[in-house]
Amino acid sequence: MNLKSMTQPEIGAVLKELGQPAFRAKQVYSWLHKGVRSYDEMTNLPKGLRDVLSEKYPIHPPKVVRKQESSRDGTIKYLWELCDGNCVETVLMRYHYGNTVCISTQVGCRMGCAFCASTIGGRVRSLEPYEMLDEVLFTQVDSGLPISHIVLMGIGEPLDNFDNVMRFLELVNSEDGMNISMRHISLSTCGLVPKIDELAQKKLQISLAISLHGPNNEIRDKIMPVNKAYPIEVLLEACRRYYAATSRRIHFEYAMIDGVNDSKECARELLKRLKGLPAHVNLIPLNHVEESPLKPSSKAAVAAFQKTLEDGGVTATVRRTLGGDIDASCGQLRRKYTKEKE
Ligand code: SAH
């Protein structure tokens, strides 16, 4: 296991084996969570220990292979190369409430959503806890901007990499690490019901976002294969259980696709579905993906949809699109880069 995927007590055990005193665990842990690129930066460690650690536990910092900065809103998108040559994306968005990183949780994705660029080449592998942590750490180090919020909405399905994601959350939340509050972290899922139940049992203070994108099985079946395994009524029952267990309001993401899910009837049906569930709907104008025939809804359709929801008593916001000039939506940059290499 990479040292940075370990908790502080686990690092303590490794160091004890190496004959080190207990206080070293905190030193090593803190340095690793500052985003050092080499053990030689750990200036308060004896040289001998630094050498042993770099031999046994290489740090493997990711390399920046592409970096694009939006001239409109300061959004920065990174394409990182991991130690095995695979690439993932991280996006840094500058919101008024704090700098937010959107991180990837897998290399590719196997969920197969029709509108999403991340899933086109399938899933290559899941990310290790330290690789997710590195996305946050090295984005902060490279940009020089302090990061206060994280969304797990990049490439991959976080609940398809459950254990590693849970460990990542524990690490990034730790006091001697980045100490990012659970309340500042959002996890988005396309709807893996058993894993939503497992997550509910952890009773974390994170925000849960559900990618709904349709008010019924007919529409969801067409654009989200996961709906065949976990139909909408089963998914929403899991959301009710999640709310009962955590008292956390649920966010529903709804990408507005022209002629597919954006009619007034759809909005009314969605209202009925969400009845009695403390919810917030986030309407996202579809980002056009080259390989897909799906098109974004018109501004008028989005506004009308939002009004129907609001009139029915469900809070609905339209997500501001950031980084539109830099391919800053899920999987687009990695996709482009992979195509160029082919
Ligand atoms: N796998 C997780 C998280 C990653 S995607 C999930 O499905 O929730 C983050 C969000 O972006 C999801 O709601 C996803 O459905 C949405 N998304 C993917 N491609 C999109 C596109 N082309 N336009 C708008 N939203 C998109």
Q: What's the pLDDT tens digit per position in 133-162?
A: 999 999 999 999 999 999 999 999 999 999
> Does the pLDDT at position 314 exceed 90?
yes
Strand partners, 149: 100
3-state secondary structure the chain: CCHHHCCHHHHHHHHHHCCCCCCHHHHHHHHHCCCCCCHHHCCCCCHHHHHHHHHHCCCCCCEEEEEEECCCCCCEEEEEECCCCCEEEEEEEEECCEEEEEECCEEECCCCCCCCHHHCCCEEEECCHHHHHHHHHHHHHHHCCCEEEEEECCCCCHHHHHHHHHHHHHHHHCCCCCCCCHHHEEEEECCCHHHHHHHHHHCCCCEEEEECCCCCHHHHHHHCCHHHHCCHHHHHHHHHHHHHHHCCCEEEEEEEECCCCCCHHHHHHHHHHHCCCCEEEEEEECCCCCCCCCCECCHHHHHHHHHHHHHCCCEEEECCCCCHHHCCCCCHHHHHHHHHHC
User: Does 159 share its domain with 260?
Assistant: yes
Residue where one domain finishes, among candidates 14, 38, 56: 56
Structure tokens of 119? 């899933």
- CB within 8 A of 242, min separation 6: which ones? 196, 197, 199, 200, 208, 248, 250
Averaged pLDDT, 13-20: 98
User: Does 275 share its domain with 136?
Assistant: yes
- The percent of residues above 70 in pLDDT, for the chain, comes to 98
User: Does 168 share its domain with 20?
Assistant: no
User: Does 49 share its domain with 82?
Assistant: no
User: Does 136 share its domain with 87?
Assistant: yes
Q: What's the pLDDT tens digit per position in 113-137?
A: 999 999 999 999 999 999 999 999 9
Residue nearest to atom 18 of ligand 1 (CA): 116
Q: Are strands 76-81 and 63-69 parallel, antiparallel or unpaired?
A: antiparallel
Averaged pLDDT, 317-324: 79
User: Does 222 share its domain with 336?
Assistant: yes
CA 211 / ligand 1 centre spacing (Å) = 7
* pLDDT of 339: 76
Which atom in ligand 1 lies closest to the alpha carbon of residue 156?
1
Residue where one domain finishes, among candidates 14, 32, 56: 56
User: Does 150 share its domain with 282?
Assistant: yes
Strand partners, 106: 126
Count of domains for the chain? 2
Report the first-to-last Cα separation within the chain, whole angstroms.
32
Answer yes or no: is the C-beta of 297 below 6 A from any ligand 1 atom: no
- Least confident window among 174-178, 233-237, 278-282, 333-337: 333-337
Averaged pLDDT, 61-90: 96
Average pLDDT of the chain? 95
* pLDDT of 340: 77
Residue where one domain finishes, among candidates 34, 56, 78: 56
> Does the pLDDT at position 50 exceed 80?
yes
Averaged pLDDT, 53-64: 97
CA 172 / ligand 1 centre spacing (Å) = 23
User: Does 90 share its domain with 28?
Assistant: no
Averaged pLDDT, 71-89: 95
Averaged pLDDT, 241-269: 97
Any idea what the CATH number is for the domain that residue 29 is in?
1.10.150.530
Q: What's the pLDDT tens digit per position in 190-234?
A: 999 999 999 999 999 999 999 999 999 999 999 999 999 999 999
Q: What is the domain extent for residue 304?
A: 63-341
Residue nearest to atom 3 of ligand 1 (CA): 153
Answer yes or no: is the C-beta of 211 below 6 A from any ligand 1 atom: yes
User: Does 51 share its domain with 79?
Assistant: no
* pLDDT of 329: 64
* pLDDT of 332: 74
Answer yes or no: is the C-beta of 207 below 6 A from any ligand 1 atom: no
User: Does 48 share its domain with 163?
Assistant: no
Residue nearest to atom 22 of ligand 1 (CA): 287
Which atom in ligand 1 lies closest to the alpha carbon of residue 210?
8
Give catalytic status of residue 330 as yes or no. Answer: yes
Which atom in ligand 1 lies closest to the alpha carbon of residue 117?
19
Cα–Cα nearest to 19, from 52, 43, 42: 52
Averaged pLDDT, 261-265: 98
Residue 325 banded pLDDT, cuts 50, 70, 90: confident
* pLDDT of 342: 66
Averaged pLDDT, 254-271: 98
User: Does 48 share its domain with 180?
Assistant: no
* pLDDT of 319: 83
User: Does 249 share its domain with 196?
Assistant: yes
Instruction: Report the alpha-carbon distance of residue 291 to residue 173 in Å, rounded.
Output: 38
Answer yes or no: is the C-beta of 115 below 6 A from any ligand 1 atom: yes
Answer yes or no: is the C-beta of 116 below 6 A from any ligand 1 atom: yes
Residue 330 banded pLDDT, cuts 50, 70, 90: low
Residue 40 banded pLDDT, cuts 50, 70, 90: very high
Any idea what the CATH number is for the domain that residue 248 is in?
3.20.20.70
> Does the pLDDT at position 338 exceed 80?
no
> Does the pLDDT at position 320 exceed 80?
no
